Structure 1
Amino acid sequence: MDSDLKTEGIRIQIREKLNEERVKLWQSPYCTEDGVTCEEEMQILVKNYSSSLGISADSCLASLLELQRHALDRLRERDRFRETGLATIRVRVTDKNHSRRIISLETKLSATVQEVQEEVASQVGVGFDRIKLILSGKVLKMNTELHTHGIQNGTHIMAVILHSNPKELQAVESRHRRMEATLADAKLLASKSNVNNDYYLQVADQSGKTLNLPQEEREALVIAMSLHETGRLALKKEDYALALVLLLEADKEFSRCKSDLLQSVDNYALLNLDIAWCYLCLRSVSDIPDAEQRLRKCEMNFHQSYGPNLERLLALKGTTGNEAALFMRLHLLQAVVLFHQNKRQEASTLLARADSELSSLKVDDYSLSTLMELGYTAAEARFGLRAAHGNLSAAVLYITKQREDKVKAKKEEEAETQLNRERRKLGRCADGFQWVEPKLHKLLISMGFSSEAARLALQQSNNNVSHSVQLIQEQPSLLNMASTSKFRVKKEVLQQVVAVGFDPRMAKIALQHHGGDVEKAVDELVMCGGIIDGEHCTDGKHCFLLHLVINLSFES
């Protein structure tokens, strides 16, 4: 067992015992007023605790003295804060080798986060731009003051050193700034819905059902998932510091979404699991409370999405192999949290469960290499063997079906994209919400109606086929009016017809009838006496004089 972990385990047990018996090591009889240890009384404690807890006397004494020293230090720091206003904060630094170092700093609580970063950076010998401070699952912004984050005298903060060089970090941040700009440009596409109110950017739940989300929530979710994916790539490279920073930024984006949305998809549960995993890899004991809370959320979401025993997932996908690995990680992390809470029996039970789950997830190396020789990727082979419980033939069938499903899904997506293009080309219905449905348009054409008549009829009837047929057969003039009313007449063209002496409204309608052709519009107005059937002039006197002029011109 790692010596640091063993020492921490002993300290946890002794601290729990002291709390149970309400023993105060900083007071008499264990300590004098001058802060000197009373060895005789301390030896009595050592004898009792080493016997009851089953630990060596030397280890017990070392932990008791360490806990006593910490208590006395906190008392001195409290008095100093009252007298001077200088708070003592402890910054736990984790470097690229995952070794830890505690730095105690005295500072005003009005100091900025950047000032603390600079002090930490000077002590560890790196640029302050490579230091990120984290408290209670939040990355602290450099230009904010300490007290705004609830930091008090004695607060513990985690500092991670990004061992990627600053240029690489800037490149990551730059990519996400560009991503946000790209998403802003995508707003027009995202806001264009079809008859089913689908969006260009789609988000689906576990069953594949599309979630209709407000624009702001959808964009926040896409940004969060992108940050999460980048963080997971850092996790695979064992760059836990960078991974934690990116994952916490993703968590901030997820917080912009409603809670019911976060419960509908498992992305947020996976994010909480990954953040807790980072805490474990960075050995961040002070973040155990945040890890516990995140794991609780993760478990609730998993049970809701997959079922307590994965029965919902089994009914949906027919297998639980890959998601079972997530439960194994969850149970392992929960066991670690319980260990640090000195709940050893519960921790042991969960560790045994995680070990059993891990054993069931292991795949045979020979079977894995056999599938890879058949042309499958390592990931496909591993997932297939897990889903088929190690059966080679069943694994091949599973992988083949997965590939076929992907091809089918891609074809369906392409078909839906093409359908959306056709809908936009045919235009919106009169209700302003629906698009003209291409299938119904083709149906009317197959019945012998022209393409344009079918389109206009479906627009006016809001995709009602029987009403569309009735409009075409009984009220074709309404379709003509609907068609012409959408043509935009230029002001200068309208003025040319009005200058001849026609009413402005009649002139506009005539121009719409003839697509802006002035000569044809004037001919129609002359032929109908300046009044188009079914329309009324805006100036009755003007039309009467116009009729008189036209009639006289014909008589002469």
Structure 2
Amino acid sequence: MEGEDAKVKVGGLWSGTIQVDLDKWTVSMLRDELGKKSNCSPDSLNVICAGRILKHELADTILRNVGFKCNSKILISKVAADQGKAINDELTTQTRLARIKAAVDAMTKRHTNDSFPVDQFSIELENQHGEKMSAVSETDQRAVMMGLMLHAKGRHFIEKGQYKEALEILSMGEEAFTLCNQKVLEMVDNVPLLQIDTVWCYFMLRDISCLSMAGRRLKEARKGLERCYGANMERARVLQGGFCPELAIFTRLELLEGIVAYHTELFKESHKALKSAQEKYNKLQVSDEALAQLVSMGYTEQQSRRALRMSDQNVQRAVEFAIEEKEKINKRIQEDRLRNKEIREQKSYGRTLMGKAVDMTILSRLASLGYEKALASEALRKNENDMQKALDDLTDPESNSVLQHSVDSRRRKRRKSFKEEDIAEILSMGFERSRVVKALSNSGTKEHAIDFLLRELPNQAGGSSGGSASEGSSVAKEDSQPDDTPGSQDQMQDDMGHPINGTSLEERDEEMEEEIAKSLTGDPLADYDIEVEEEGRAIVEYLTLLASSGHGQ
């Protein structure tokens, strides 16, 4: 269809008329033309039509779609250099926030609906007791997981001093939490912590206009923490073996309560909250002597400082805390290694027809009945993880034969795709050729084959290299599968070569997803173990203000 030519009248920095095609010209093309006419950079122009500024995000929009018609009038003006930079910075920020939201949404979907694993990590929810939250609905899991990831990313922005951006992310996290059942939210402490972080951003931006909202948020935060851990955080100490994880976060909470009370002229309440915050702040100050003692025992300065803070500066208790922390970290590392191995194994079995991963729990049950895992996984893959239907196929001779044929066919495909250089590389590590070929046949990729061979070493030589093998293989290569591995091309098509429904991979923002994953530390005390130097300065500032106004007693 031919576009409609139209005249547009221009005023302001340059006056005249220009001829445009309403159905072909975009806002960007209009900007370019106006830039030529006015001898200015297109990015330095403010373009206003019908009282609306045509912002940069409309660059690819057709003129008719933003309200242009024949004889439309526009006004152009030159944006100051710093204003133009501010506009571009705002656009960059909004684009980045949109990427974060989209990446979190994609990661949440993958980790809550049994999708085929594409990550080299897993995300699991735990309550305050460190127990996995597996008995909640998929909708609630997704809402909590999204809220947690956005909160973690928001805290990352806070640590970098980007408080405005942090507020945007925290707001998205709060919205995600509202989609969750209230009883589920009461099992975690992240909502009250998010409220405190939000008010902290208000304070660091010196946004006094948010005071009324800040007071409400702080009340909800205190109520939420007391619900999770008791009025005096006694349950938190029980969960942490008698240690004191709450001092730093309550220092910040009471400081903010004191600031809000000061600006609402509740000076007595302000003084009380600030003095309480100051008392906790002083308890968090680690002596050089105590710090040196723990560092001399082999702990890092960060580990030593945390241990002393959590143990109320008691060196002996701090050592106990550091030992317990090391044991917990080692246990978590071992659990992560086992989970990563399970993910790699799960990938090797491919997708179901609907694009789901093979259910490893059901697979283990079938294997315990004596069925070969490769055969049992093929039965589950074909039957969408329905155990009874899979059993029916495994016990029926004809169906079993078809399954075996599929398994053998896939193995032959993998075997044909082996590269001689991969075999040579693994042979150079000292393994026998027959074992290398067998490992590649069973595993499908070089990385998986090496892992398979290393796992066999303890049985072959009686050594203990299995642990290091897991460690090395768990970081071998993230999210990479050659086209000939199971779960890739041969799993994306049926036996006739037709595409399988539900297996197409969505385009992923891997850079942003990796950035978000790094902010998920897996450290249950990370939200409580915060630096409080800024809090210390603010406490002194507001106590001084109270004293100077005659309200310091």
**What is the TM-score normalised by the length of structure 2?**
0.48
Answer 1 or 2: higher relative contact order, Cα 8 Å, separation at least 6: 2
| Structure (1 or 2) with the greater helix fraction | 1
Q: Which of these two proteins has the greater Rg computed from alpha carbons? A: 1
**What is the TM-score normalised by the length of structure 1?**
0.48
